[in-house]
Amino acid sequence: MNKYYIFSLLSFLLFSFGNAQNYKKPLVSAIKEADLRKDMYELAADQFWGREAGTLDELKVSMWLADKAKEAGMQPAGDNGTFFQFFEMYRHQITPQSSLKIGNNNLKLWKDFLVAEPVNASVDAEVVYAGNTEPEDLSQLNIKGKVLAVNASDKNIKKEMTLFIRRYPGFVRTKYYNKAYELGAKAIIFITDDISEKSWPEVLPQMTRGSYGVEGLREKITNNIPVLWIKKENTDWVKNNPKVTLTLTTETYKYPSVNIIGKIEGTDPALKNEYVLLSGHQDHDGIRHPVKNDTIYNGADDNASTCVAMLAMARAYKKQPAKRSILFVFHGAEERGLLGSRWHAAHPVVPREKIVAVLNGDMIGRNNNDEAALLGGNAPHKNSEELVKMAEEANNESTKFKYLKDWDSPNHAEYFYFRSDHLPYAKMGIPAIFFTSVLHDQYHTPQDESENINYKKLYKMTEWMYRTSWKVANETGRPKVIANFSLER
């Protein structure tokens, strides 16, 4: 045999062995659909009353999760040798003493008028009634130092999205706010149209609850101008330039919330000091207004689905650990503004530089068995080429989902990339991706219950996340962040 041929063959074989995976295959057989189903029916049950953040129900489900984490093989990784990382969440709310007088009409808070967000304000000014004026035409009016009253308009507002009626007042506010502020308005009074009239009973509980934040990361609104709503039947209140006297005061309440954190240690003497963070959120919306005679917002898909998937993945990692350690973070208070993930990203239980990647799941148990989205998989949201490649390779190996790439577009109406727990980590420069089977018509309703989960889809999504995490946890090199990556919405 030609010696040059032998030399070439040996070189090829050495190269091949050097670049082959030098670790075991993922133990997918340890993930059981029956386990996912059993855990789901417990976690999303009525016994936890919708797991609202800052309530005893959230603390009760946290105890359940900690017990299940231990049972699945995790070691505690929270504070003081426990599974718990407590943090304080702050609720900023309009006080009942707040008042509004328009002309000779003394209005009752939450009955005659709504306040869109908690802001301290004292306004004594004239109303300018703008009727159907669109934002681009407001500059034709003299509203500096005055209160703008305008009819709500759905013009140029995208309507193809979930919970459109419930979210509509916020879209109207966004549409007008910056221009009114720029022109010097002291406040805005929106007059309902047919859509916002329907939304009134749905947004009322949301507005009375106020806004939420965490200490040091608060977004308490103090300098914004007030945004109020009145019903169209009362349009005469704001016609003919009446005087408005408005006093809004806020108060702040402090509640405990908690992240549940466990780990499974890696086997490699060096790499076990690095962590792959698997992320989901445990909370949902608690007890709210009835829909189809049900008031418990169980949050099975949102996001008990990822929590039970994380428990399933933990069982697999317990039976067959990876080279790197796995950090499981069940975030609290996601529904109140990503509070748990914001807190843990700012106060990680392991050194931040040791977190090699965040694999977040949110709503992974519904819709077509063959379709799913990987948010952060495409520019401008992609922050790591290597991490995305690993997720795509994992999908090609088995699950073979067709990607719903439009959900990762910055022009998608839902802006879904910005609405889950990977975001605070991505903002801190940690490689991060978001697995989801996307929204559905039972999203944030009491009908998001265990019996409506597609368990075959949930199993496939769990397998995809697990296979991806296995690659990240075993490859010699860690994923790198794309240079000059920045997040803009």
Query: Do residues 301 and 458 make contact, with C-beta atoms less than 8 angstroms apart?
Result: no
| Average pLDDT for 461-476 | 98
Tokens of residue 265, six digits = 């240690």
> What integer pLDDT is reported at residue 2 of this predicted model?
55
Mean pLDDT of 228-251: 96
Predicted pLDDT of residue 218: 57
Calculate mean pLDDT across residues 106-123: 96
Strands (DSSP E) along 70-116, which ranges?
A: 75-76, 84-94, 99-102, 105-107, 114-115
Query: What confidence tier does 13 reach under pLDDT thresholds 50, 70, 90?
Result: very low
Query: Which one, of 278, 484, 481, lies nearest residue 386 by Cα?
Result: 481
Interval 140-160 mean pLDDT: 95
**Pick from 65, 22, 66, 25: nearest CA to 320:** 25
Provide DSSP, 337-388: TSHHHHHHHHS-SS-GGGEEEEEEE-S-S-S-TTEEEEETSSTTT---HHHH
Query: Which class for 136: exposed (0-12), middle (13-18), buried (19 or more C-beta within 10 A)?
Result: exposed
Q: Which of 169-173, 217-221, 338-342 has the lowest mean pLDDT?
A: 217-221
Burial of 446 (0-12, 13-18, 19+ CB in 10 A): buried
pLDDT value for 465 = 98
pLDDT 10s digits, 47-81: 999 999 999 999 999 999 999 999 999 999 999 99
Distance of CA 448 to the CA centre of its chain: 16
Distance CA 322, CA 264 (A): 9
Number of Cβ within a 10 Å radius of residue 366: 24
Query: 337-372 pLDDT, tens per residue?
Result: 999 999 999 999 999 999 999 999 999 999 999 999
CA pair distance 361, 436, nearest whole angstrom? 6
Residue 69 confidence (pLDDT) = 98
| Mean pLDDT confidence for 181-190 | 97
pLDDT tens digits, one per residue of 277-312 = 999 999 999 999 899 999 999 999 999 999 999 999
**For 399-446, how does the pLDDT look when each residue is reduced to its tens digit (9 = 90+)?**
999 999 999 999 898 999 999 999 999 999 999 999 999 999 999 999
Radius of gyration of the chain, Cα coordinates, nearest whole angstrom: 26
Confirm if 136 and 388 have CB atoms less than 8 A apart: no
Do 120 and 222 form a contact (C-beta atoms < 8 A)?
A: yes
CA distance 46 to 435: 26
Q: What is the mean pLDDT of the chain?
A: 94
Q: Rounded to whole angstroms, how far apart are CA atoms 456 and 165?
A: 32
Domain boundaries, the chain: 22-91+255-474, 96-248
3-state helix, strand, coil in the chain (%, to 5): 40, 25, 40
What is the predicted pLDDT for the residue at 12?
A: 41
22-91+255-474: CATH homologous superfamily?
Answer: Zn peptidases (3.40.630.10)
Ramachandran area for residue 163 (φ above 0: left; ψ -120 to 50: alpha; else beta): left
C-alpha–C-alpha distance, residues 83 and 76, integer Å: 4
223 near 120, Cβ under 8 Å?
no
Which pLDDT score is estimated for 488? 76
Task: Specify the amino acid at residue 395.
Answer: N
Among 219-223, 236-240, 434-438, the range scoring the smallest mean pLDDT is 219-223
pLDDT band for position 222 (cuts 50, 70, 90): low
- The string of pLDDT tens digits covering residues 21-35 is 689 999 999 999 999
Q: Strands of 121-129's sheet, edge to edge?
A: 105-107, 99-102, 243-248, 121-129, 147-151, 187-191, 227-230, 114-115
Answer whether residue 15 shows pLDDT above 60. no
pLDDT of residue 10: 45
| Tokens found for residue 169 | 């007042």
Going by pLDDT thresholds of 50, 70 and 90, the confidence category of residue 18 is very low
Torsion of CA 362, 367, 369, 371, to 10 degrees: -70
Question: What average pLDDT does the segment 214-243 reach?
Answer: 85
Q: Where are the beta strands (DSSP E) in 38-157?
A: 75-76, 84-94, 99-102, 105-107, 114-115, 121-129, 147-151
Q: Give, in order, the Cα–Cα distances in Å from 283 to each of 111, 256, 311.
A: 30, 13, 16
Under DSSP, the state recorded for 226 is P
The pLDDT value recorded for residue 160 is 85
- Range with lowest mean pLDDT among 128-137, 277-286, 385-394, 407-416: 407-416
**pLDDT for 16:** 41
Please say whether the beta carbons of 426 and 376 come within 8 A: yes
Please work out, in degrees rounded to the nearest 5, the angle formed at the alpha carbon of residue 346 by the alpha carbons of 221 and 444.
60
Query: How much is the pLDDT for 7?
Result: 46
Kindly report which listed range (16-25, 73-82, 463-472) carries the lowest average pLDDT score.
16-25
Task: Decide if pLDDT at 385 tops 70.
Answer: yes
Bridge-based pairing of strands 211-214 and 275-281 is: unpaired
pLDDT for the residue numbered 161:
87
Architecture (CATH level 2) of domain 96-248: 3-Layer(bba) Sandwich (3.50)
